[in-house]
Amino acid sequence: MRASRLFGIVFLLSLCAYAAPPCAAEDKPKDLTTDDGRLESAWFGATAPDFHRCDGDRCKLGKDEVSVDYLWVKPSFSLKGHVLLLKPWESVAFLGDAKRESGEIKNGAKITTEAATELVKMLNKAYKGFASASLTEGDWIVTARVVDCAGPFGIGWIKFSNATYDLKITDKASGEMVLALHTRHVGGKDVANDFIENTANFCARLTDAEKLYAMGETISAAEARQKAEEAKKK
């Protein structure tokens, strides 16, 4: 009985490894400066943001590990008391070299259609009065778009997917950008709903965005560390 159980566990782990191709995992891109072509700095404005990257134990907010691929915040950034006006998401860009199938393109379109409405509901629950979100009014404008959407991959009930997006917050009165974000979330079979839920969970932590940015490292530092880690493996 014990041997049979052990075989079952080993088989399941092997199946998970087989079912999750590299593009569905949270692997780091080869080119961190452009996120393998998915990051267009010009989308955020004439001057490229000084992005920070944060992952692993260094990026803990309380007991939670909150990783982010590319984040920039204006000094003294705080969501407190602000009303976020979530604009309808821009059309999917599908940047980078990956060739996406029709189903993946449809998932990207579904996210684009549903994201703003669903995020307003989720964020108002999460912020609990610290800040608020709206589809019709606000002093800070939130603009976003999906730049890649992949999956679901896998076999049977084991499914993986991921989607990458750009998001920026702009002060309505001054036109000044106060936050810039480019990151990827990994989900399962229900690509659009998983992505929107993960995005809401992450955006709920933007109450600590300045702290998260400070814990991160510059992209050039992240690239140097990644090259050093790769060199050790050879």
Determine the residue type at 125: K
Instruction: Look at residue 69 in the predicted model and tell me its pLDDT.
Output: 97
| Dist. CA 53–CA 167, nearest whole Å | 15
Instruction: Look at residue 56 in the predicted model and tell me its pLDDT.
Output: 82
Q: Are 141 and 87 in contact (CB under 8 A)?
A: yes
SS3 label, residue 62: coil
| Dist. CA 59–CA 222, nearest whole Å | 14
| Dist. CA 93–CA 18, nearest whole Å | 29
User: DSSP states of 88-140 as a string?
Assistant: PPBPP---SS----HHHHHHHHHHHHHHHHHHHHHHHHHHTTSSEEESS--SE
Instruction: Look at residue 205 in the predicted model and tell me its pLDDT.
Output: 96
Intervals of the chain under pLDDT 70:
1-28
Q: Are 106 and 153 in contact (CB under 8 A)?
A: no
Domains, the chain: 27-233 (3.40.50)
Determine the length of the chain. Answer: 234
Label residue 177 left, alpha or beta by phi (over 0 means left) and psi (-120 to 50 means alpha).
beta
Distances (CA, A) of 45 to 19, 49, 81, 114, 148: 39, 8, 25, 25, 20
pLDDT by residue (tens digit) across 127-163? 999 999 999 999 999 999 999 999 999 888 889 999 9
Instruction: Look at residue 23 in the predicted model and tell me its pLDDT.
Output: 41
Q: Are 169 and 49 in contact (CB under 8 A)?
A: no
Q: Are 207 and 179 in contact (CB under 8 A)?
A: no
- Considering the entire predicted model, what is its pTM? 0.87
